[in-house]
Structure 1
């Protein structure tokens, strides 16, 4: 069965999944997969927010290869778009639209490759597709899929997040925190009668700017990072604020324990500030020397003509933070047609050539694992 990856990308982009309605996007791909011979199940973790699990010959001697991507997208932003964000009309080698790179193009490539492979007879292993909702705010759809797949074995994992079809061997972890401080309110003309929570939190946050995580740089991920993203306090100008809150974005590297990171940060801000996790997603890393990962990297280089052999990792997180450990820390790579620099930007685009190359890469990876 043949699926036109460009048409499917456009059809997916036409469905507005900005923080909702992923089930509507999955309704576009489910009939294609069913027609190809996949057993398809869509489960919602909340109304309208579905995650699709599709399986094909998963009972063979090897566990199935898993291909995964998400169909939710982020808001358009305040800047005007020069291209309709939901039409994805071809413009030379580019399709412009929200989600073309991040990552409906990658999802379309998965479906196109899987539909073609399903026409063949596997000798060793089948395929499993996990197409998720709510990845952007913290992988809720992937967690829902893991509960549904509990106890079923899985082979290696390919996440088609935007990499320009380069193979990445992992990504940083994300530990997002709220930092809150309390005080005592008083009239703004008599601040000595109150306890200003903004001052308390500001002093603590300033100490984080020079925080040392105490770990050496990772060879591909570099050093962990910390960014204070928001800061809010008080209700009105002429009162001493009795509460203040900041949010903190920590990106960890492979080998860091998030519990230890949280303990270290708590010690840094002191007892007057409370830290609470918002998102807790560990880093993912597969040894570039792993035989399967190395074979995927070689396939991608052959198809794209890329020469770079240096192991690389993404700074962003993916659903692999949930899927990889749940599947038994299977070998995992990230390789998709989008461009990381196009994620979340105005007039986001994906290359038509790289969409075709992505399908070719995934087909080869499937053939090698499944033994078709």
Structure 2
């Protein structure tokens, strides 16, 4: 069975999945996969927000290769788009639209590649596709999916997030925290009668500026980072604020324990500040000398011709559903490789290359053929 990756990308982009209605997008791909011989199941973690798990010959001796991507997208922003964000009309080599790069193009490539195998029978292993919702806000769809996948044998994992079809071996973790302080309100002309929560929190978060994680930098992921992203306090100018909240974005590296990071930051902030995790996604890393990862890198080089600029392993700056899926599937070898350009994620007039969509299908098809024994 043949699926037109450009047509499917356009069909997916035409459905507004900005934080809702992912199930509508999954309803587009489900019949294509069923026609290709996959068993398809869509489960929702809240109304309209589903995650699809499709399986093909997963009962063989070798566990199935897993391909994954998400169909939710981020808001359009306030800037005016020159191209209809929900049309993805071709313009030369580009399809413009929200989600073309991040990452409905990558999802379309998964479906197109997997559908090509439907008429065959694998010798060694089958396939499992996990197409998720709510990745952009903390991988809630993937968390829901692993409830049914946990304990099932799995082969390696490929995430088709935007990499320009370069193969990446992992990404940093994300630990997003809410830091809150409480006080006592009073009239702004009599501040001595109150207890100012803004002062408490401001003094505390300033101490994070020089916080040291006391871990060595990863040779590829680099050093962990911390950023205080937002700060809010009080309701009106002429009252002493009795509550304040800041949000903190910590990016961790492989080997860091998030519980230890949380405890360390809590100690630095002091007892007057409460810390609550908002997003807790660990780093993902597969060594470049892993046998399967090395073979996947060779496939990518053969299909793309290599870019000649990078000789060593690379990592993504963003997080992916691999933070949830990789440990749940048994810490399987994981790579990130998709047709979108990483710089196009979340931008106005986002686009994906039509040539790289076709290239991505070829890469995924080769990876599937090699693993399944076709």
**TM-score, normalised to structure 1's length?**
0.99
Deviations 1:5-62, CA, capped at 9 Å, x for gaps: 0000000000100000000000110010000000011111111001000000001110
Q: Which residue is equivalent to 2:267?
A: 267
> How much has 1:301 moved relative to structure 2?
1.2
CA distance in 1, matches of 2:275, 2:347: 31
Deviations 1:338-362, CA, capped at 9 Å, x for gaps: 1111111100000111101100000
CA distance in 2, matches of 1:227, 1:83: 34
Q: Which residue is equivalent to 2:325?
A: 323
Q: Which residue is equivalent to 1:348?
A: 350
Q: Which residue is equivalent to 1:187?
A: 187
Q: Which residue is equivalent to 2:34?
A: 34
> How much has 1:148 moved relative to structure 2?
1.6
Does the Cα contact within 8 Å between 2:151 and 2:329 map onto a contact in 1? no
CA distance in 1, matches of 2:150, 2:357: 32
Q: Secondary structure at the match of 2:276?
A: strand
Deviations 1:79-136, CA, capped at 9 Å, x for gaps: 1100000000011111000000000000000000000022222100000000001111
Q: Secondary structure at the match of 1:118?
A: coil
CA distance in 2, matches of 1:266, 1:152: 37
CA distance in 1, matches of 2:293, 2:258: 26
Q: Secondary structure at the match of 1:235?
A: coil
CA distance in 2, matches of 1:109, 1:252: 30
CA distance in 2, matches of 1:236, 1:54: 52
Q: Which runs of 4+ in 1 moved over 3 A?
A: none
Q: Secondary structure at the match of 2:192?
A: helix
> How much has 1:150 moved relative to structure 2?
3.0
- Aligned ranges for residues 125-204 of structure 1 at < 5 Å? 125-204=125-204
Q: Which residue is equivalent to 1:257?
A: 257
CA distance in 2, matches of 1:323, 1:309: 28
CA distance in 1, matches of 2:336, 2:58: 22
Q: Which residue is equivalent to 1:106?
A: 106
**Count of aligned positions:** 372
Does the Cα contact within 8 Å between 2:266 and 2:275 map onto a contact in 1? yes
- Aligned ranges for residues 1-372 of structure 1 at < 5 Å? 1-306=1-306, 307=308, 308-372=310-374
RMSD: 0.8
Q: Secondary structure at the match of 1:368?
A: helix
> How much has 1:284 moved relative to structure 2?
0.5
CA distance in 2, matches of 1:7, 1:228: 42
Deviations 1:223-265, CA, capped at 9 Å, x for gaps: 1111111111001100110110011111100010001101111
Q: Secondary structure at the match of 2:143?
A: helix
CA distance in 1, matches of 2:358, 2:59: 30
**TM-score, normalised to structure 2's length?**
0.98
Greater alpha carbon shift after TM alignment, 245-254 vs 297-306: 297-306
Name stretches of at least 5 consecutive residues in structure 2 with no aligned partner.
none
> How much has 1:193 moved relative to structure 2?
1.8
> How much has 1:177 moved relative to structure 2?
0.4
CA distance in 1, matches of 2:263, 2:151: 33
Greater alpha carbon shift after TM alignment, 145-154 vs 219-228: 145-154
> How much has 1:143 moved relative to structure 2?
1.1
Greater alpha carbon shift after TM alignment, 251-260 vs 142-151: 142-151
Q: Secondary structure at the match of 1:209?
A: helix
CA distance in 2, matches of 1:129, 1:256: 29
> How much has 1:272 moved relative to structure 2?
1.0
CA distance in 2, matches of 1:315, 1:261: 20
CA distance in 2, matches of 1:346, 1:7: 22
Q: Secondary structure at the match of 1:129?
A: strand
Does the Cα contact within 8 Å between 2:149 and 2:329 map onto a contact in 1? no
> How much has 1:309 moved relative to structure 2?
2.5
CA distance in 2, matches of 1:40, 1:338: 26
